[in-house]
Amino acid sequence: MSTKTSKLKVAAFWLWTHTSAAIAGLLIIAALILGVWIGRPAKEPTPEVMQTEAAEPQEYTCSMHPTVRLQDPNAKCPICFMDLIPVSEQDGDSLSMSITESARAASRIETAQVGRFFPTAEVRLLGKVTQDETSIARLSAYFPGRIERLFVNYVGIPVSEDDHLAEIFSPELLSAFAELRETHLIAQQTMGMAGMGEMNFDALRSAREKLRLFGISKSQIDSVEQGTYDSDLLTIYAPIGGVVTHLSVLEGDYVQTGDPIATVADLSRLWLDLEAYESQLALLRWGQSVTFTVEAHPGEMFEGRISFIEPIVDDRTRTAAVRVAVDNADLRLKPGMFASAVMRTRIGRTGPLTDDSFAGKWVGPMHPSVVKDARGFCDICGMDLVPAESLGVVGDPATSEPPLVIPRTAVLFTGRRSVVYVRDPEAESPSYQMREVTLGRRAGEFYVVKEGLEEGEAVVVHGAFRIDSAMQFAAKPSMMSPAGGGGGGHNHAGMTPSAPMSENVPDSFLTSIEPVYHAYLAAQERLAADDLAGFHEASTQLNARLDAITELGLSGESLASWRTAARSLRLDAQATTIDAARAHFEGMSDAVILLEQTFGHASGETWHIAYCPMAFDFKGADWLQRGKTINNPYFGESMLQCGEIRQSFPPTGSDMTPPSSQQDAGESDPHEGHDHG
């Protein structure tokens, strides 16, 4: 081997040995570094990272079903298919609910200030135009005779005062004529004779009075006495002007003393007879202006004034008669016409106001329709007129204090309590607080507030039920749960899930209210079928059932609940349109649900509370119905299945427990009975 080759081998061996050592060293160093890095404590994340990792995703819920919680903002409520709204974080106030501006806008929450003014209450009644009984004259036979001639020979003929009506032949009358002539002749012959003359003149006066009592006019008596009356017939004249409304005889008929001949009525003055329920009587007063319409003159308003209010309420109908005096000089109104009347009364803090329109007037005490500007006598009975102030029909509205007033849509009723939601003006984000209020009389679209609110506060007038739903879900005191707790479920507004108090109520009462339930359910089904006439029939039956209820044995809370419900269940007047009937049915439903919650029912079927959020421009409304298939009375066939079952009521005494939430009420199928559009 050459020297050059040996050197190359030595060099190659050296390079290999040194390179392997270097690589091994590098690997050892790398392993040490890696071990140190793996074994050291992990670096703590920054606060920003912790916040991101701990933050929970935004949840969205349904304003009508707060038990629904989803993270998809574009999802729909699986129960009612409404848009979802963000779940807002609540503050620490157990009586308040704070929401975001976006949630407030999504829920369409609106507020209005508590005002102080005189609201106007309306009373609507149906009635009939009748004859004014003070303007009717009935002609009767004063003596026996035969109708020789009848000038008014059909009903409806107009007559004026002193127009001839008939001619009558009467032997008894001819005898009285002869007696008058004879006594007149004797009186003339004995004139001036002592004793005899005076006696004969007394006989003459008696003969004249006899004919006067026969209904003979003074001119006829004078004619007979002077001998110028040479007919065997007597003409009967009309005592008043008007229209012949009744004929009882024909030509040739014989009549006896007291038999009716004809009736004449002055139709230039008429009455409008109405029936007012006892709950309406406080809003009515003598002299009050009334406007009404009749079908014969559509779109035209007629006016009158209340002239009489019956002082006794009928035990059977629970109504009192109200009479309106109407001027009918143009004879456009006719007796027998049906009329729809409206009376308006301003409401003060203590009740209806009495105006001063009769201040300084003088009124007939027995005929208050006679009103004059000065002292005088009644045109009908001749009695002295009395000042209107003495009848208690004059007041000074300027001395009355305007009441606190809120819109009726602001109030959530529980049957025993009335609740509103008030916005907190100092909160940065919209915050609402539940407030119990004491209400006075309802006046149109407003309620008078006696306690619980201050002037200028903002109350929720649209969306209050949605706020209450959120309060209940958050386990805060709400309309449905005054003590709080029990979040996540929905009972009917105004009903706590307590058991009926039937064990403290007489069995006779529980039995007597069963027909009330069935009459209400019939009315509900008729409205769902768009049957206005059927609703009127069911309402009439309902009124009759209410009249048959006896309160014997009721006391305390049960008596108050019954009377509260009975007032709202009674239909004061027949609604002229299906919309008006549905508006009244809302109050009927609140009342019958209160009855069900308080007393229960004994019928062998389960009844259900249903709710439609779209009723009355999305204000929402409840009703009681048979079966779980939605049968909407507020929309009828147009949206018959719009709504949802809220609560179920088995018969009292059954083994079933009334559910207090929607899940318990049978919502296993979220699509059953929901059609919102």
User: How far is the C-alpha of 301 from the C-alpha of 66, rounded, in Å?
Assistant: 50
Task: Please report the pLDDT score of residue 29 as a whole number.
Answer: 57
Render pLDDT for 353-396 as a digit per residue (tens, 0 to 9): 877 777 788 888 877 778 888 888 888 788 888 888 777 777 76
DSSP letters for 590-637: HHHHHHHHHH---SSS-EEEEEETTHHHHT-EEEEEESSS---TTTGG
- Inform me whether the pLDDT recorded for 657 exceeds 60: no
Between 139-148, 164-173, 534-543, 564-573, the lowest mean confidence (pLDDT) is in 564-573
How much is the pLDDT for 667?
Answer: 37
* CATH class given for the domain over 111-119+400-463: mainly beta
pLDDT at 622 over 80: yes
> Could you tell me which CATH class the domain 133-265 is placed in?
mainly beta
Q: Is 6 helix (H, G, I), strand (E, B) or coil?
A: helix
Reduced DSSP (H G I as helix, E B as strand, rest coil) percent helix, strand, coil of the chain, to 5: 30, 25, 45
Closest alpha carbon to 242 in 262, 258, 228: 262
Strands of 621-626's sheet in order across: 621-626, 607-612, 644-649
User: 291 falls in which pLDDT band (50, 70, 90)?
Assistant: very high
pLDDT of residue 248: 92
Q: Give the percent of the chain with pLDDT over 90.
A: 24
CA distance 335 to 332: 10
Of 181-185, 270-274, 456-460, 657-661, which gets the smallest average pLDDT?
A: 657-661
Cα 591 → chain centroid: 12
The phi, psi pair for 215, rounded to 5°, reads: 90, 15
Beta strands per DSSP E along 99-196: 110-113, 115-116, 120-131, 136-140, 145-150, 158-159, 164-169
CA distance 592 to 568: 9
HEC secondary structure over 152-176 = CCCCCCEECCCCEEEEEECHHHHHH
Tokens of 635: 């929309």
Q: Write down the residue that tokens 């058991």 correspond to.
A: 499
- Tell me: pLDDT of 528 over 50: yes
Of residues 521, 541, 534, the one with CA closest to residue 623: 521
CB contact burial 82-97 (16+ within 10 A = b; e otherwise): bebbebbebeeeeebb
- Of 82 and 15, the one with more pLDDT: 82
pLDDT digits (tens, 9 = 90+) for 498-518: 445 545 677 778 888 888 998
| Ranges assigned E (strand) in 333-408 | 338-346, 362-363, 371-372, 386-387, 404-407
Q: Check residue 620 and give its pLDDT.
A: 84
112 neighbors 410 (Cβ within 8 angstroms): yes
Residues 216, 243: Cα–Cα separation, whole Å = 22
pLDDT for residue 490: 37
Q: CA 280 to CA 322: how far, in whole Å?
A: 11
Model confidence over 175-200: pLDDT tens digits?
A: 888 888 888 888 877 776 766 667 77
* Residue 15 pLDDT greater than 50, yes or no: no
How far apart (Å, rounded) are the C-alpha atoms in residues 169 and 67?
Answer: 94
DSSP letter assigned to residue 221: H
The CA-atom distances, in angstroms, between 265 and each of 133, 142, 158, 261, 661 are: 8, 20, 9, 14, 66
What is the rounded CA–CA span in Å between residue 566 and residue 592?
9
Residue 326 DSSP code? E
What average pLDDT is seen over the chain?
78
Which pLDDT does position 190 carry in this prediction? 78
- Which residue has 């439903």 as its token pair? 589
- Please list the residues that pair with 421 across neighbouring strands: 434
Q: Read off the pLDDT of each residue in 287-302 and give the average, rounded to a whole number.
A: 92
Beta bridge partners of 309: 322
pLDDT the model gives residue 474: 66
Place of tokens 């929450």: 109
What is the pLDDT confidence band of residue 486, given thresholds at 50, 70 and 90? very low
Burial label, 132 (beta-carbon count in 10 A; 0-12, 13-18, 19+): buried
Q: For residue 659, how many other CB atoms are within 10 A of its CB?
A: 21
Query: What's this model's pTM, rounded to 2 decimal places?
Result: 0.55
Write out pLDDT tens, residues 108-157.
788 899 999 989 888 999 999 999 998 899 989 988 999 999 999 899 99
CA angle 79/624/473 to nearest 5° reads: 45
Taking residues 327-354, what's their average pLDDT? 89
Joined together, the tokens standing for residue 497 give 């899930």
Name residue 276's beta-bridge partners: 320
Smallest Cα–Cα separation from 65: which of 487, 477, 481, 409?
A: 487
Share of the chain above pLDDT 70, in %: 78
58-117 pLDDT, tens digit per residue, is 777 776 666 677 878 888 877 767 777 776 544 445 567 777 777 677 667 888 999 999
